[in-house]
Structure 1
Amino acid sequence: MTHLQITRRAILGSLGAAMLPTFATSTLAQGGAYPNRPIKIIVPWAAGGGGDVIVRLMAPSLQKRLGGQAIVVDNRPGAIGTIGSVAAARSPADGYTLVYGGLESHTIAPSAMKKAPYDAKKDFVAIAPLGFFPAALVVSASHPAKNLAQFLQMAKDAKAPLSFGSWSTATSGHLIMEAFKQAKGVDLLHVPYNGTAPLLQAQLSQQLDCSINVLSTVEPHIRNGALRLLAVAMPQRLPEFPDVATFKENGVDVARGPWVGIFGPSGLPADVIARVHEAVDATLSEPAVAEQTKKMFFVSEHMEQRAYQSFYLSEIDRWGRYVKTANVAIE
């Protein structure tokens, strides 16, 4: 069993003081058209990470499109995104507390937790997609495998399982590789790290046979020849690496890296959902925003809200099956 211990007390205990201001301000909320006061977007990851950068990049345009109201980014990291997400789930359904969430915080973690602090299907509404970060499978440049087919053959011929690293247990990178193992019938030893940066250093120092990381982290080292790219989690091949096949082309049912979007607590009024969706969708199309996200290798996605809600629910079921088959558990 792949096992990670995250105490329920750590998740719920962190909410004690944090939740009081949220409920207190909600009792003072004034009526009128939405929005008429600042909007908080909880980012359940540390400041400076990819998600934090994306939300802060979008904030000025969102403010302009949402009546000039300030967009307050509230970082609440921990427990694979569940600490911040549960705070959002327990907030008033009035549109003034939203959350940046996605594959890890809203599908994998709730499926892997024995006592999840929220019901991903019932406690959230998927408002608008943002996109996804392509995931990249890499080996060190000195590794004898020149492509994925050669690596697979080496893994099958090895007397002991080859190792793969991910940025943590029960993350999208980990589960993508579990899907890969299941699809290809190969055994690989999972070595989790505490973030993408330590994972990168382990791969560069050749402590791992391979690793799955976000493309933006490893791309400079692919360019300088230190790492070799074997596969990407993308719907189609990357223009920057046209000779590298996708996981999908290799028979693995993964067409995206970790996808993310904007969510709210269930029960949000339809007009609020529509207003936020419209603002997010338009912001992603702004040239200045699109230029910066492209530099991060972030792939923006546009989807109608109902379609996104359906996608979200289907992803909970799909990744829940991978979690169960791989026997991934978080306590």
Structure 2
Amino acid sequence: MRSETRVLLVSGLCGGLLAMASSCLAAAPYPTQPIRLIVPFAPGGGADANARRVAEPWSKALGQSIVVENKPGAGGTLGASFVAQAPHDGYTLLYATPGQQMTAPYLFKNLAYDPFKSLVPVGKLSVGANVLVVTKSLPVHNVQELIDYARAHPGKLGFASSGVGSTSHLAGELFKQKAGVDIFHVPYRGTGPARTDLMSGQVPMTIDTLSVYLPLIQSGDVRALGVSTLKRDPAFPDLPAIAETLPGFEAVPVNYIAAPAGTPRAVIDKLNATLNQVIADPRVRNSFEKGTSLEGGSPQEMEQLITTEQAKWKALIERAGIKPE
């Protein structure tokens, strides 16, 4: 009996120690190691620049470094797939744009992740204006002149985008649809490469991130025709809204942070709280270019916005006759 009692005592003690160890592990502070922030586009674009602007102050708020990594391709879905398949421990995050969850279900047939289920929002980061810009050699100076030129040269004008399913892609499709013009899509692996070809005249037009193209507009390397918001941007009152020529035209990129599904709620909540803290900092807000509005909010609010935007873009894609590839 004494031997049995001794075995039971030892077993109970071991069980208690294991339970305590598990409890301590579960209660371990987060984060305890560097965090990877995946940008699903090439370096040099708006998403890349904004991710780097937020990474440093967010690192300080969390007490751990945030390392920005670029994984471009397939309209941002390659980077999204990488994050979706990463361990759901909060150490691999996605700098998300509309192309990974809001539009991907309707543009790609064989995704390696489920846009509806594989990723969960951490929080909203920003909303930015896009701008319609053309190469200097194109003989147009306003939206109506561009429409007239496109109608006179059907099938000759290509519009650049940062990738299939990106806001710049769908903005171009929306322009094509509302203006009734025959233009074609030229996808790139990020805004940076598209910008380079636009400057050199390899592609004549794009509707992409205002903050990225602003220096080129100011230097005269490209010509701005209008912003993609319903009304003029207060920071650029002399730049018309495309909607002044094409009523109802609106195509604005929503940027947010996402994590793999299954990431613990406590981790999501900490990431969200610190992200909102960073967004509220005037120094961070001032570091972002004009035309970008930092907004923040809860994971639940971002989840609802994703659902709303999915319905909006699905309708546009179907009207445009775009088939999943």
TM-score (normalizing by structure 1):
0.78
**Separation in 2, partners of 1:317, 1:238:** 26
Does the 8 A contact of 2:86 with 2:92 survive in 1?
yes
The alignment partner of 1:30 has SS state of helix
1:170–1:328 CA contact under 8 A, matched in 2: no
CA distance in 2, matches of 1:48, 1:211: 16
Partner of 1:291: 286
**Within 1, Cα distance between the matches of 2:97 and 2:51?**
13
Match for residue 233 of structure 2 among 199, 214, 238: 238
Q: CA deviation at 1:115?
A: 0.9
**Native 8 Å contact 1:200 1:213 kept in 2:** no
Pairing partner for 2:56 from 37, 57, 60? 60
1:163/1:30 CA distance change after superposition, 3 Å: same
Q: Deviations over 1:63-83 (max 9, x none)?
A: 3333x2333334333332222
Alpha-carbon distance in structure 2 between the residues aligned to 1:76 and 1:64? 24
Q: Is the Cα contact below 8 Å between 1:165 and 1:193 reproduced in 2?
A: no
Residue 41 (structure 2) aligns with = 45
Between the aligned residues of both structures, percent identity stands at 33
CA distance in 1, matches of 2:66, 2:199: 39
The separation in 2 between residues aligned to 1:197 and 1:87, in whole angstroms, is 21
Q: Could you list the runs of 5+ residues in structure 1 that have no partner in the other structure?
A: 1-26
**Alignment size in residue pairs:** 300
**TM-score, L = length of structure 2:** 0.79
Structure 2 stretches lacking a partner, 5+ long: 1-21
C-alpha displacement of 1:37 = 1.4
In structure 2, distance between residues paired with 1:142 and 1:318:
35
Q: Is the 8 A contact 1:163 1:191 kept in 2?
A: no
Counterpart residue identity of residue 35, structure 1? Y
Q: Quick check: 2:150–2:157 contact (8 Å CA) kept in 1?
A: no
Larger Rg: 2
* Equivalent residue number for residue 183 of structure 1: 178
Q: Mark the CA change 1:76 to 1:147 in structure 2 (over 3 Å): closer, same or farther.
A: closer
Amino acid of the structure 1 residue aligned with 2:302? Y
How far off is 1:289 after superposition?
A: 1.7
Residue number in structure 1 paired with 2:16: none
Structure 1 residue 35: Cα displacement:
0.9
Equivalent-residue separation in structure 2 for 1:34 and 1:326 (angstroms) = 49
1:71 equivalent among 52, 66, 77 = 66
Are 2:114 and 1:112 equivalent residues in the alignment? no
Q: CA deviation at 1:103?
A: 0.9
Deviations 1:188-218 (A, max 9, x none): 2333445434433443444544332332343
Paired AA for residue 53 in structure 2: L
2:46–2:209 contact (8 Å) kept in structure 1: no
3-state SS of 1:77 partner: coil
Give, in angstroms, the shift of residue 137 of structure 1: 0.8
Deviation at 1:178, TM superposition (A): 0.6
Hey, what does 2:81 align to over in structure 1? 86
* Structure 1 segment 123-142 matched on structure 2, within 5 A: 123-141=118-136
For 2:317 and 2:43, the matched residues in 1 are separated by 28
Query: Mean alpha-carbon deviation: is it higher for 303-312 or for 233-242?
Result: 233-242
1:114–1:226 CA distance, 2 compared to 1 (3 A): same
Instruction: Check whether the contact 1:128–1:277 (CA below 8 A) recurs between aligned residues.
Output: yes
Corresponding position of 1:145:
140
Aligned partners of 1:127, 1:175: CA distance in 2, in Å? 25
Deviation (angstroms), 1:255: 4.3
| Letter aligned with residue 191 of structure 1 | V
